[in-house]
């Protein structure tokens, strides 16, 4: 919460006979009175006379302080990482939006607020006033794994300009944006330069940092850029990491013991890596698909050669990782037996992470609900989410920035 101070005119000092209606209304506001709108001068005077109190009363203090929550909009809200991070009476989410119907359903179930759909159809005239605009805007146009078209992507890449429209209309003092780390180098750095230039054109001071979530307490190595833009001369500093690295082991469910790897389809090859590096996943094994004779023949025919293609393996979904290090980046879509979460050696079993375990990878509570959502879809939504630990680490700095 932040405090708003207003210099008040004590009710007892108001000269009811000579003071103008405008000054009387100011006195009403200072005294915390309501219902003066549309009233005649005589009626406002009567309200003030009723409110007259001895000068020793607390209501006659020259300064009256009102504490209000910091209002924010959660745009491209997904599962609500910002909402979870800001879950205190110091913040209030007044607007949210996401084009995905399933994400909106999940968000409403967990936060009691129904997001709007397409950001491009938001009625900005009816949108509440905000203090912070939060937006983890679509990453795919700037991602190495995506199409890489950036602002040329007319469906997703240019949604940044819809964010600018909201900034123009609502003029919030703070804006927090999140995207893939490749945003900073996309199009030889021109995309990022455009974003900064547009924010600075609107009188924002911009600070940014590529953050690995594992440095902020998450058991997941997930690199994302966070851009914080603020109005005025007061600087904002993105906090450093916690200094604590949590391994995947810390979020495992010990009751899950089933081995999921079909060894009839994959050859397990031990990886040469022996040293666990802080903040980085540790590969134990590469997996290589075992091709049937029929598959080999099909490959040979396709290549118009009798030479068999060597089985390819070693992609993220075809590796087995150690639970004694941080985990890999959870992906919304990826192939192989370790699709989305990656495979981990847990005791004698090799398996993916469960939905509840993956929730913990992102910093969401175990009680987070996924109504009418299949496990694979749950993992899909998580793969598109922001890691809660990062915006949660920003909260003290945000509160300090809004403090008087």
CA 338 centroid distance within chain: 25
Q: Nearest CA to 179 among 245, 228, 215?
A: 228
As given in the structure block, the two tokens for residue 218 are: 């998450």
Are 134 and 75 in contact by the 8 Å Cβ rule? The answer is yes
Q: Nearest CA to 400 among 65, 70, 6, 66?
A: 70
Residues 155, 162: Cα–Cα separation, whole Å: 12
Q: Which one of the listed residues 134, 139, 331, 378 is annotated catalytic?
A: 139
Residues 110, 202: Cα–Cα separation, whole Å: 34
Residues 58, 50: Cα–Cα separation, whole Å: 16
Pinpoint the alpha helices (H) of 246-304. 293-302
What is the sign, positive or negative, of the torsion defined by CA atoms of 109, 110, 114, 119? negative
- List the beta bridge partners of residue 376: none
Residues 113, 115: Cα–Cα separation, whole Å: 6
Q: What residues contact 107, with CB distance under 8 A and at least 6 apart?
A: 77, 78, 79, 80, 83, 96, 98, 113, 114, 115
Contacts within 8 Å (CB) and 24+ apart, 288-291: 288/312, 288/313, 288/314, 288/318, 289/265, 289/313, 289/318, 290/264, 290/265, 290/266
- List the beta bridge partners of residue 135: 75, 177
- The yes-or-no answer on residue 378 being catalytic is no
Q: Tell me how crowded residue 399 is: count the other CB atoms within 10 A of its CB.
A: 15
Give me the torsion for CA of 196, 198, 202, 203, rounded to 10°.
Answer: 30
- Point out the residues that are catalytic: 139
């Amino acid at each position: 919460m932040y405090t708003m101070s207003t210099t008040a005119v004590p009710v007892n000092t108001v000269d009811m006979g000579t003071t103008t209606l405008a000054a009387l209304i100011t006195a009403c506001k200072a005294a915390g009175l309501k219902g003066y709108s549309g009233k005649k001068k005589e009626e406002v005077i009567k309200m003030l006379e009723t409110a007259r109190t001895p000068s020793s009363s607390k209501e006659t203090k020259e300064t009256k302080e009102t504490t209000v929550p910091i209002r924010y909009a959660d745009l491209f809200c997904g599962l609500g990482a910002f909402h979870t991070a800001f879950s205190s009476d110091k913040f209030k989410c007044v607007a949210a939006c996401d084009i995905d119907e399933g994400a909106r359903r999940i968000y409403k179930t967990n936060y009691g607020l129904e997001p709007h759909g397409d950001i491009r159809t938001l009625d900005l005239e009816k949108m509440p006033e905000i203090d912070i605009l939060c937006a983890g805007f679509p990453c795919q146009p700037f991602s190495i794994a995506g199409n890489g078209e950036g602002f040329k992507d007319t469906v997703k890449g240019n949604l940044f300009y819809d964010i600018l429209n909201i900034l123009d209309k609502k003029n919030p003092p703070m804006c927090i944006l999140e995207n893939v780390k490749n945003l900073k180098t996309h199009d030889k750095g021109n995309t990022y330069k455009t974003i900064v230039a547009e924010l600075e054109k609107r009188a924002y001071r911009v600070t940014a940092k590529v953050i690995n979530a594992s440095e902020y307490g998450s058991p997941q190595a997930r690199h994302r850029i966070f851009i914080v833009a603020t109005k005025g001369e007061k600087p904002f500093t993105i906090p450093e990491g916690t200094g604590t690295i949590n391994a995947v082991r810390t979020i495992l469910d010990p009751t899950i013991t089933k081995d999921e790897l079909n060894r009839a389809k994959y050859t397990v090859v031990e990886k040469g890596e022996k040293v666990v590096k802080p903040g980085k996943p540790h590969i134990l094994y590469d997996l290589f698909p075992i091709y049937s004779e029929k598959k080999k023949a099909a490959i040979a025919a396709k290549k118009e050669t009798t030479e068999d293609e060597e089985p390819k393996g070693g992609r993220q979904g075809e590796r087995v990782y150690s639970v004694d290090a941080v985990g890999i980046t959870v992906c919304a879509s990826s192939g192989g037996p370790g699709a989305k979460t990656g495979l981990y050696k847990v005791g004698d079993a090799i398996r993916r992470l469960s939905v509840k375990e993956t929730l913990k990878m992102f910093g969401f509570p175990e009680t987070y609900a996924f109504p009418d959502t299949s496990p694979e879809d749950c993992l899909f939504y998580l793969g598109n989410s922001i890691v809660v630990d990062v915006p949660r680490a920003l909260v003290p700095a945000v509160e300090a920035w809004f403090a008087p």
